[in-house]
Amino acid sequence: MLVNIVSSSLSAPRLTGRDPERTQERILKAAFREFAAKGFAGARVDEIARRAAINKRMLYHYFGDKEGLFREVLRRKIAERQAWGVATPDEPSESLPYWFDLACNDADWVRLLEWEALQFFDKRLIDEKKRREAAALAVARIQRRQARGHLSKEFDPRHLLLAMIALTWFPVAFPQLTRLITGQSLSDVRCRNGHRTFLRNFAAAFRARGPKSNPRPGTGGNGNGKVESA
C-alpha cells in the first residue's frame, strides 16, 4: 500500500505554484515562440518546458501531448486575432495599413504559418475544422463591409480577403524579397512608412464605385469618340 502511494506520488506531475492559469500561460507563450521558430515538426517539448521553467510532465498534464499544445496555441492566437479583426476600420485606406502594422507587430504568427505551409502543405491541418470556422467569420466581415459600401461588390469576398492579406503580410513573410525589391529593410522605419503610404493609395482599387455615367463623345473610351466595352 505504502509502495503504491510513493510510486504514484513520484509519477504524478508536480503542480508547483498556486496559480495553474499563470503556469499554463507561461507554457503557451513558450510554445508559441518555439513553434514559430521551428514549426510543429521541429519544435521540442523539452525546449518548451525549459523556456517556461516548468517540469515537462506538467506540460503533458495540462495539454496532453505536443499536438494538443499546438492546438491550444492556435486557438488562443486565433481568438486574439479575431478580436483585432473586429476592430478593423471599414475603409480600406485605413484597414490595409492597420493589417500591415498588425503583421509587423506579430511576425512570429506569420512565421508559424509559413512553417505550417512547408510541413503540412495540402495535408489536413491540426484543428482544421475550427480554423475553417474562423476563416468563414473573416469572410463574413468582408461581406458586411461590401454590403455597407466600403468595399467593392465586384470581387468575390474570399478572393478579396486573400488579396488584402497578401498585400499586408508579404513584406513580413518575405523580408529578404522586400529588401531586394525596395532596397530597404523592413526594420527601417522608412520602408514601413513607404509601404503604409502605398497601401493607403492602392486601397482605391478595393473601394465600392459609384454609379457609372456614360462618357460624352470625344471625352472617354479609346480617344476616338467610341466607348469600348470592358
pLDDT in tens, 33-84: 999 999 999 999 999 999 999 999 999 999 999 999 999 999 999 999 989 9
Q: Which long-range contacts (CB under 8 A, 24 or more apart) does 55-58 make?
A: 55/13, 55/14, 55/16, 57/12, 57/13, 57/14, 58/13, 58/14, 58/15, 58/16, 58/23, 58/27
Question: What one-character DSSP code corresponds to residue 206?
Answer: G
User: Does 149 have pLDDT greater than 60?
Assistant: yes
Q: What is the mean pLDDT of the chain?
A: 86
CATH code assigned to 88-209: 1.10.357.10
Task: Give me the pLDDT at residue 85, please.
Answer: 86
Residue 163, φ and ψ in degrees, nearest 5 = -65, -40
Percentage of the chain exceeding pLDDT 90? 76
pLDDT in tens, 150-194: 999 999 999 999 999 999 999 999 999 999 999 999 999 999 999
Task: Give me the pLDDT at residue 121, please.
Answer: 87
Angle between helices 66-86 and 20-42 (to 10 degrees): 100
Please state the rounded mean pLDDT for residues 126-143: 94
User: Does 14 have pLDDT greater than 70?
Assistant: no
Examine domains 19-73 and 88-209 and report if their fold is the same: no
Task: Give me the pLDDT at residue 226, please.
Answer: 40
User: Does 216 have pLDDT greater than 70?
Assistant: no
Please state the rounded mean pLDDT for residues 189-215: 84
Task: Give me the pLDDT at residue 207, please.
Answer: 87
Task: Give me the pLDDT at residue 18, please.
Answer: 60
Cβ-contact 112, 28 below 8 angstroms: no
Task: Give me the pLDDT at residue 5, please.
Answer: 36
State whether the Cα torsion 67-68-73-77 is positive or negative. Answer: positive
- Which triple of cell numbers denotes residue 4? 503504491
CB atoms within 10 A of CB 175: 15
Cα separation, 61 vs 142, in Å, equals 40
**CATH-assigned architecture of domain 19-73:** Orthogonal Bundle (1.10)
Question: What one-character DSSP code corresponds to residue 185?
Answer: -
SS3 content of the chain, % helix, strand, coil (to 5): 70, 0, 30
User: Does 224 have pLDDT greater than 70?
Assistant: no
Cβ-contact 108, 32 below 8 angstroms: yes
User: Does 15 have pLDDT greater than 50?
Assistant: no
State whether residue 44 is helix, strand or coil.
coil
Q: Which residue has the higher pLDDT, 17 or 195?
A: 195
State whether residue 15 is helix, strand or coil.
coil
Residue spans of the domains in the chain: they are: 19-73, 88-209
The candidate with the shortest Cα–Cα distance to 220, out of 208, 212, 201, is 212
Task: Give me the pLDDT at residue 210, please.
Answer: 65
